[in-house]
């Protein structure tokens, strides 16, 4: 298989020094006031594995948990964003799934987004993180939450055993479908089905055609109209920051004739907006 190109904006720091970072984080949070710029700078310019090394060293030197200190020192959307940046991606996915299935009713759109867009490897990792967090397997929990054909399809995805070698073939098939039937597979699904199963199948088709375009649309919808859906905005920007944010940015420009950076700048402000714009990684 070809090596995956790094298309993220959040990259590993070249001359990474873990103890320097721990000291800087402590200084930024201890005493009166918080130096938000330092928090943003460190958490958006280190790879996941570097941030895990920081978290471990932070706990060893302070006997405190970095994520908890971030929670105590910041608030609201900014807090949620920094906490998500500090956690391992698999733990984020597990926590988002736990939240989606908490209480009465299930937020199916989050289940769909995560399970339709993640690779087999990511699904295996988030399943392990889920089991560690809840002492239950993700499959066991899903069985109590979803049912019918939608449930069957979600459970298949949650097994993380999709044949990933045939993605280009699927893409070709979806394009051919339009030539044969005169309408897109997405339109046919929308016409023939309804509800959660329709949403799931449409999202799978979108992810097969272009995962970055799928997320560009998600981000756009989270900022469209009155009010901003910060939860979705945070989830997408953090989960794709290290993977394909450069491609999402390009697709966003193509789809909406505006730069993602400008859209974020006009929609959210303060430390939260500043941090998102760093993840966005530029104006083009």
The pLDDT of residue 255 is 97
Contacts 24+ apart (CB under 8 A), 116-122: 116/157, 116/200, 116/203, 116/204, 116/207, 117/203, 117/207, 117/211, 117/214, 117/215, 118/93, 118/160, 119/164, 120/160, 120/161, 120/162, 120/164, 121/160, 122/89, 122/90, 122/93, 122/160
Q: Quote the CA–CA distance of 110 and 73 in Å, as a whole number.
A: 28
Q: Return the minimum-mean-pLDDT range out of 23-37, 106-120, 205-219, 267-281.
A: 23-37
Q: Is the pLDDT of residue 2 over 50?
A: no
Query: 270 in helix, strand or coil?
Result: helix
The pLDDT of residue 105 is 82
Residue keyed to tokens 């070249």: 14
Residue percentage of the chain with pLDDT more than 70: 98
pLDDT tens, 100-134? 999 888 899 999 999 999 999 999 999 999 999 99
The pLDDT of residue 4 is 56
Q: C-alpha dihedral over 17, 18, 19, 24, to 10 degrees?
A: 90
173: phi then psi, degrees, rounded to nearest 5: -60, -40
**Domains with residue ranges and CATH for the chain:** 18-88 (1.10.220.10), 90-209 (1.10.220.10), 211-280 (1.10.220.10)
- Mean pLDDT, range 134-145, rounded to an integer: 96
239, two tokens: 């989960």
Q: Return the minimum-mean-pLDDT range out of 3-17, 48-62, 237-251.
A: 3-17
pLDDT tens, 43-70? 999 999 999 999 999 999 999 999 999 9
Q: How confident is the model at residue 216 (pLDDT cuts 50, 70, 90)?
A: very high
- Mean pLDDT, range 187-212, rounded to an integer: 95
């Amino acid at each position: 298989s070809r090596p995956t190109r790094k298309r993220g904006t959040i990259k590993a720091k070249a001359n990474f020094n873990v103890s320097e970072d721990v000291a800087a984080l402590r200084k930024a949070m201890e005493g009166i006031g918080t130096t938000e710029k330092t928090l943003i700078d460190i958490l958006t310019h280190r790879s996941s594995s570097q941030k895990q090394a920081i978290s471990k060293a932070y706990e060893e030197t302070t006997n405190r948990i970095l994520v908890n200190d971030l929670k105590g020192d910041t608030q609201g959307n900014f807090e949620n964003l920094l906490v998500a940046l500090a956690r391992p991606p698999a733990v984020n996915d597990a926590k988002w799934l736990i939240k989606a299935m908490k209480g009465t009713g299930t937020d199916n759109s989050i289940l769909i987004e995560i399970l339709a867009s993640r690779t087999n490897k990511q699904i295996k990792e988030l399943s392990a993180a889920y089991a560690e967090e809840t002492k239950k397997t993700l499959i066991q929990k899903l069985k109590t939450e979803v049912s019918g054909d939608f449930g069957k399809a979600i459970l298949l995805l949650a097994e993380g055993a999709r044949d990933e070698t045939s993605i280009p073939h699927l893409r070709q098939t979806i394009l051919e479908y339009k030539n044969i039937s005169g309408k897109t597979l997405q339109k046919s699904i929308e016409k023939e089905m309804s509800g959660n199963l329709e949403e799931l199948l449409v999202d799978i088709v979108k992810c097969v055609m272009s995962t970055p375009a799928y997320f560009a649309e998600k981000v756009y919808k989270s900022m469209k109209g009155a009010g901003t859906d910060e939860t979705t905005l945070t989830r997408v920007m953090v989960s794709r920051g290290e993977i394909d944010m450069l491609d999402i940015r390009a697709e966003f420009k193509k789809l909406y004739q505006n730069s993602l950076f400008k859209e974020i700048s006009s929609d959210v402000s303060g430390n939260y907006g500043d941090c998102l714009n760093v993840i966005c990684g530029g104006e083009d």
